[in-house]
Amino acid sequence: MSADWNNRREDLLRALQGIGSAGRAEGEAEEKLGPGFYPVAEHLRILEAEVVLAVGPRGAGKTEIARVLTDANLASEIAGYAKKVRLPSGSADWLKAYPRGSEVFDARGLRAFIQSDANEATETTELVSELWFTYLLRLLNERLDEPARNELKEVLRLQGGDIDGNYKAFREAGQQPLLALDKLDERLQREKKFVFITYDELDTLGGADWGAMEAGVRGLVAFWASYARRWKRIRAKIFLRSDMYDRFATAGGADLAKLAANRVDLAWSDADLYAMLLKRIANASPDLIEYVKNVKSRINWQKNAALGEMPELTTWQDARPVVERMLGPYMGANKKKGLVYRWLLDHVRDGRGRALPRPFVRLIEEGARIELQEHRFLREPRLLEPSSIRRALDSVSAQHVAHALDEWPWLDAVKVRLKGQLVPWERERDLLKLLRFDAAASSDKKPPFDDRELLDYLIEVGILRRRSDGRIDAPDLFLHGLGLLRKGGVRRF
């Protein structure tokens, strides 16, 4: 075996370890944002002025696209990939309204605000809707004219964390906030400009308080359902997790129905996932660009100044030659153990059959890390052993569940109860017993559902799945992270 190849292979593996962002888009360095972003045509409908809602499951790329769109240079570049999208005429500024650090309220403040005796006479959704109006006004402060800023100086001078003070000043301002934004919208129309307001990471609104998060989401969607038709150039882009949309945002009137009908669903086809993965690999280092291109395939590669190397796949199977160059054709000695290019996707699917970017990228990163630890020699041009990928899946599962605790803090208590269980469960009632929490348990530790509703929710978000024979199973993406056990499968060592 060539020592030169082994040295080069180690360099390629080290580069592979950095193709993601530790699994989280919010942690992606600014300089890696463009080279790491893959523009999915359907997702880019969010660029249309009329589209307010973008809905997708956890890990679908909501935060990444929100970050890209608030970068003026990248937003301009990806517009070129927005085929069949009705792009807005004129220039556009993208502003982040949430999260926004100390410029906006926190979870504790929101909970206290909702529960305040002074506000109990007002319906909660209406109350929180006005709160979002207050902070929109603060966000657009510099774009208001001087007379408007003078009229609203009491609203604009306070710290963002002073939720009660800001709301009180807003209410005391009467109609001035509405008139100020009406006037701004009229000026933007004359100047042929747009201001797009983005809202992301809305699962953090209430912290561990499910009720506060629900109130925050309902109030936000209700606010923009009311004003989306009034303002033509001040437009919202709300990125919502699918289960939050289904549970919190769908109760509304005719205006909301119109927003929902024109939403963007952040779904990923298998071809888009492989294109995204290959793009990240190719842009990780010059050597990896050469490696993925130096194989006969149907992939069309193009270069973009801001986005880097861009692969175009007609079908997900176009990726097969590159994947087999990296790992070989099978997960074991023969095809009975699984075709590699199918296995990679199938084993990062959740309980609803969705494969998503974050765990897919992490699988390759973690596999590269394990290979470097093993110090083994492989024949050129192989980079990875399938056994490393199988071991990597356990690590990806553990990380996926750990990150899920940010959004579902009560999942840790579920994990404790499920640890060591063998899946699938033959009898549903056995699982329901495990999911039954004492009513006296701490509210921040237990799920916001009873056992039956909790099971339905775990299936709804893809943590568990109901098989065709009625048994309850766990997808591999959550299996190891929840401490569950399954017989069989590809050997880890």
Structure confidence by residue, pLDDT tens digits, 56-83: 998 888 888 888 888 878 888 888 888 8
Whether the pLDDT of residue 230 is over 80: the answer is yes
Whether the pLDDT of residue 238 is over 90: the answer is yes
| Residue 36 domain flag | no
The residue assigned the tokens 């506000």 is: 119
| Strand (E) or helix (H) holding 234 | strand 234-241
How many domains are contained in the chain? 3
Q: Quick one: pLDDT at residue 493?
A: 43
247: left (phi over 0), alpha (psi -120 to 50) or beta: alpha
Query: Is the domain of 68 the same as that of 203?
Result: yes
Alpha-carbon span 153 to 167, nearest angstrom: 13
Q: Which of 245, 265, 285 is the last residue of a domain?
A: 265
Query: Is the domain of 49 the same as that of 158?
Result: yes
The 10s digit of each residue's pLDDT in 261-289 is 889 999 999 999 999 999 999 999 999 99
Query: Is the domain of 2 the same as that of 66?
Result: no
Query: Is the domain of 144 the same as that of 57?
Result: yes
| Residue 416 domain flag | yes
Whether the pLDDT of residue 247 is over 50: the answer is yes
| Residue 280 domain flag | yes
Whether the pLDDT of residue 146 is over 70: the answer is yes
Q: Quick one: pLDDT at residue 121?
A: 47
Cβ contact 228:259 at 8 Å = yes
Query: Is the domain of 170 the same as that of 286?
Result: no
Q: What is the CATH number of the domain that holds 172?
A: 3.40.50
Can you spell out the DSSP letters for 54-96?
EEE-TTSSHHHHHHHHTSHHHHHHHGGG-TT--PPSSEEEEEE
Pick the range with the lowest mean pLDDT from 3-17, 219-233, 362-376, 435-449.
435-449
Q: Average pLDDT in the 481-488 region?
A: 88
Q: Quick one: pLDDT at residue 161?
A: 94
Can you spell out the DSSP letters for 331-396?
SSSSGGG-BHHHHHHHTTB-TTS-B-HHHHHHHHHHHHHHHHHHT----TT----HHHHHHHHHHH
Residue 441: pLDDT band (50, 70, 90) is low
CA atoms 76, 82, 88, 93: torsion sign: negative
The 10s digit of each residue's pLDDT in 407-421 is 888 999 999 999 999
Cβ contact 263:269 at 8 Å = no
HSE-CB for 111 with a 13 A CA cutoff = 12
Query: Is the domain of 311 the same as that of 444?
Result: no
Q: Average pLDDT in the 112-128 region?
A: 75
| Strand (E) or helix (H) holding 8 | helix 3-16
| Strand (E) or helix (H) holding 399 | helix 386-407
Rounded to 5 degrees, what are φ and ψ at 452?
-65, -45
Mean pLDDT value across the chain? 90
Q: Quick one: pLDDT at residue 406?
A: 83
Whether the pLDDT of residue 95 is over 90: the answer is yes
Pick the range with the lowest mean pLDDT from 20-29, 176-185, 439-448.
20-29
Q: Quick one: pLDDT at residue 289?
A: 95
Q: Quick one: pLDDT at residue 490?
A: 46
| DSSP code, position 299 | P
Q: Average pLDDT in the 424-429 region?
A: 94
Q: Which of 349, 371, 404 is the last residue of a domain?
A: 404
Whether the pLDDT of residue 258 is over 90: the answer is no
**Rg of the chain, C-alpha, whole Å:** 25
Residues in the chain: 493
Cβ contact 205:212 at 8 Å = yes
Query: Is the domain of 135 the same as that of 252?
Result: yes
Q: Quick one: pLDDT at residue 443?
A: 59
| Residue 211 domain flag | yes
Higher pLDDT, 21 or 335: 335
Query: Is the domain of 314 the same as that of 359?
Result: yes
Q: Average pLDDT in the 335-347 region?
A: 91
Pick the range with the lowest mean pLDDT from 34-48, 106-120, 148-162.
106-120
Q: Average pLDDT in the 4-8 region?
A: 91
Query: Is the domain of 456 the same as that of 435?
Result: yes
Q: Which of 404, 425, 459 is the last residue of a domain?
A: 404
Residue 249: pLDDT band (50, 70, 90) is low
Q: Quick one: pLDDT at residue 23?
A: 45
Query: Is the domain of 326 the same as that of 424?
Result: no
Residue 29: pLDDT band (50, 70, 90) is low
The 10s digit of each residue's pLDDT in 277-328 is 999 999 999 999 999 999 999 999 999 999 999 999 999 999 999 999 999 9
Q: Quick one: pLDDT at residue 22?
A: 44
- pLDDT more than 90, % of the chain: 67
Alpha-carbon span 298 to 278, nearest angstrom: 13
Identify the domain containing residue 341 by its residue range.
1-22+268-404
Higher pLDDT, 490 or 440: 440
Give the predicted TM-score (pTM) of the model: 0.88
The 10s digit of each residue's pLDDT in 458-467 is 999 999 999 9
Q: Quick one: pLDDT at residue 418?
A: 96
Query: Is the domain of 291 the same as that of 367?
Result: yes
| Residue 81 domain flag | yes
Cβ contact 430:212 at 8 Å = no
| Residue 32 domain flag | no
| Residue 213 domain flag | yes
Query: Is the domain of 87 the same as that of 111?
Result: yes
Q: Quick one: pLDDT at residue 209?
A: 81
Residue 208: pLDDT band (50, 70, 90) is confident
Residue 27: pLDDT band (50, 70, 90) is low
Whether the pLDDT of residue 134 is over 70: the answer is yes
Whether the pLDDT of residue 335 is over 80: the answer is no
Q: Average pLDDT in the 439-448 region?
A: 70
Cβ–Cβ contacts within 10 Å for residue 305, how many? 8
CA atoms 412, 416, 419, 423: torsion sign: negative
Q: How many helices (H) and strands (E) does the chain have?
A: 23, 9
Alpha-carbon span 311 to 332, nearest angstrom: 29
- pLDDT more than 70, % of the chain: 92
Residue 371: pLDDT band (50, 70, 90) is very high
The 10s digit of each residue's pLDDT in 158-193 is 999 999 999 999 999 999 999 999 999 999 999 999
Q: Quick one: pLDDT at residue 77?
A: 86
| Residue 135 domain flag | yes
